[in-house]
Structure 1
Amino acid sequence: MILLRYSASLVFIAQMYLAMLLLGIAFTPWAVLDRRGASTGIRVYCRYVRLTARLICGLRSEVRGTVPSGEVLVASKHQSFFDIILLCSVLPSPKFIMKTELRRAPVLGWYAGRIGCVPVDRGQRGQAINQMLADVAAGRSLPGQLVIYPQGTRVAPGDKRPYKIGTAVLYAESGQACVPAATNVGLFWPRRGILRRPGLAVVEFLPPIAPGLPTQVFMQKLESTIEEASDRLALDTGMAIDSDNAR
C-alpha cells in the first residue's frame, strides 16, 4: 500500500509541474496584455491541482468560511505549497508577500510578479515592508487580498514558531481588517518529501479582526485564533500530529 501511495505521489508531482509549464505558456499572451489573464491562469492551475490531487492521491480539499474580497489583509498559517494552492483557487485577487528568491523560479516567479506579489529579502524585511506600504499609498500596488504568513515560513503541524511583527505593521499602517486563516494541509502534503497522503485538507477563513487594535493585543489575538483553529482542524482528521513526519 505504501509503495502504491509513493508511486501515485510521484505521478501526481510530475504531472503537476508539467501542467504548470503548459498552462503558464498557454496563458502568457493574455497575462502579458492584461493582469487579469495572469490571475485567471493561476486560478485555473490551482483548481486543476486540487482536482488531480483528489483523483490521483485521494487528497480531497475544502475551503471553509467566508472568502474575503476587496482590499483586505489575509494572515494565513503556512504548512506547505498546498495551502497556497487552496488560497489562490478561491481568492479573487490574491497577492503574496513572498521570498525574493521565488522571483527566479520558472513560470511561478513571473506570474507572481504579474499579479502583484511583493518579494521580501529576509535580511531586509522591514525595508521591503516600508516600500510595499509606500506603493500602496501611491496607488502603485494592485488592489486585492494581500496574503502574509505571520510566522514567515512553512511550519509543520505540531511545530511552534514565533509570530513576526511584520503582520502587525501592515495591519496598523494599512488600516484594513485582517482575516486570519487556519489550515491542516501539512498532515497530508508535507513541506518536504514526496508522499501525498489521502484525506481532507482544509483551509479555513476565520472571522476578521477589525482594524484599530493595539499591536500587542492584535498579535495575541491573531496567534491564538490561527493556532487554535489549526489545531482543531488537525484533530478533526483523527491523525496524530507528528511534526517529524510532516516536514
Structure 2
Amino acid sequence: MAMAFQWVRSLIFTIVIYLWMGVLGLLFAPYALFSKRGALRACKLYARSTIWLARWMVGIRGEVRGTVPTGEVMLAAKHQSFFDILLIFDAVPHAKFIMKRELMWTPVIGLYAKRLGCIPVNRGKKGAAIAKMVKDVAREFEEPGQLVIYPQGTRVAPGVKKAYKVGTAILYEGLKNPCVPVATNVGVFWPRSGILRKPGHAIVEFLKPIAPGVDRHSFMARLEEEIESHSNELMREVGFDPDAVH
C-alpha cells in the first residue's frame, strides 16, 4: 500500500514539474529571446522550485557537497537522472551542458538550452562530433561559465558499469582549464527512467579539481577512479550497495 501511494505521489509530481516547465518557459520566453540573463533566471527558478517540490511532494532531499566551482572550469559529472542536472545547475553560477543534439529541437528545453550556451553533440558521428564539439565549446567559452560534460555519455543506473569516453579528455586538453569531477547518488531515489521516486537523501558532490596539464591516459584513469569511488561511497551512505548490482 505504501509503495502504491508513493507511486501515485510520484506520478502527480512528474506531471506538476513538466507542466511547471511549460508555464515558466512560456512566461519567460519574451525575456529569454532577447536576454541570456533572462533565460538563466528562468532556468534557475525552475531548478530551485523543482528541488523544493521534490522534497515536499516525494520526500527527496537534495544536498550539494564540496567546493562549488565559480570560475571557468569543466565539470565532469556522474549522470544518473534528471535530478543531478537540477542540483548542479542550481549550485553553479552558469552551467553550460554538453547535450544530445535532438534535445535542442524540443519545445521549451531547446530554446533555453541555446540561450544558455549549451553545446549540441551528434552522437552518431564520433570523430566529427568530437571535432565540432571542441570548436563549439571554444566559441561558447568566450563568455564565462562552467561546462558540464557527462564522461559516460548518458544516464547510468546505480551500480551499472559503463565505459568513460575519450571526448572528455580531448576537451580537457583543448580548454586548458581545471576539471572538477562530480559524484552523485541521486539515481537511488530518482531513477533514470520510470515514474516512481523514492524518499531519501540525494547528494551531488564536487570533488577536488584536476589541474590542467595531466596526460590523457592518467587524466582518464584518475577521473574515472574519483567519480566512481566517490559515487559508490555516496550510494553506500544511503544504504544502497553498488557492488550487489549485476
Normalising by structure 1, we get a TM-score of: 0.94
Distance 1:141 1:118, change over 3 A: farther
Query: SS of the residue aligned with 2:61?
Result: strand
Whether 1:180 aligns to 2:153 is no
For 1:1-247, what aligned pairs fall within 5 Å after superposition?
A: 1-137=2-138, 142-241=143-242
Query: SS of the residue aligned with 1:127?
Result: helix
Q: Which runs of 5+ in 1 are unaligned?
A: none
Runs of 4+ in 1 over 6 A off after TM superposition: none
Query: SS of the residue aligned with 2:208?
Result: coil
CA contact (8 A) 1:116 1:141 kept: no
Task: Report the identity percentage.
Answer: 52
Whole-Å separation in 2 of the counterparts to 1:22 and 1:192: 23
Deviation (angstroms), 1:133: 2.8
CA contact (8 A) 2:64 2:204 kept: yes
Query: SS of the residue aligned with 1:122?
Result: coil
Query: SS of the residue aligned with 1:200?
Result: strand
Whole-Å separation in 1 of the counterparts to 2:81 and 2:162: 15
CA contact (8 A) 2:123 2:129 kept: no
Whole-Å separation in 2 of the counterparts to 1:180 and 1:102: 24
Distance 1:94 1:140, change over 3 A: closer
Query: SS of the residue aligned with 1:179?
Result: strand
Aligned length: 244
CA contact (8 A) 2:119 2:136 kept: no
Query: SS of the residue aligned with 1:201?
Result: strand
Whole-Å separation in 2 of the counterparts to 1:103 and 1:147: 16
Alpha-carbon deviations, 1:47-106, whole Å to 9, x = none?
111000000101110011111112110000000111111111111111111011111222
Whole-Å separation in 2 of the counterparts to 1:50 and 1:189: 12
Deviation (angstroms), 1:32: 1.3
CA contact (8 A) 2:119 2:137 kept: no
Deviation (angstroms), 1:16: 0.3
Distance 1:239 1:148, change over 3 A: same
CA contact (8 A) 2:74 2:179 kept: yes
CA contact (8 A) 1:175 1:212 kept: yes
CA contact (8 A) 1:78 1:149 kept: yes
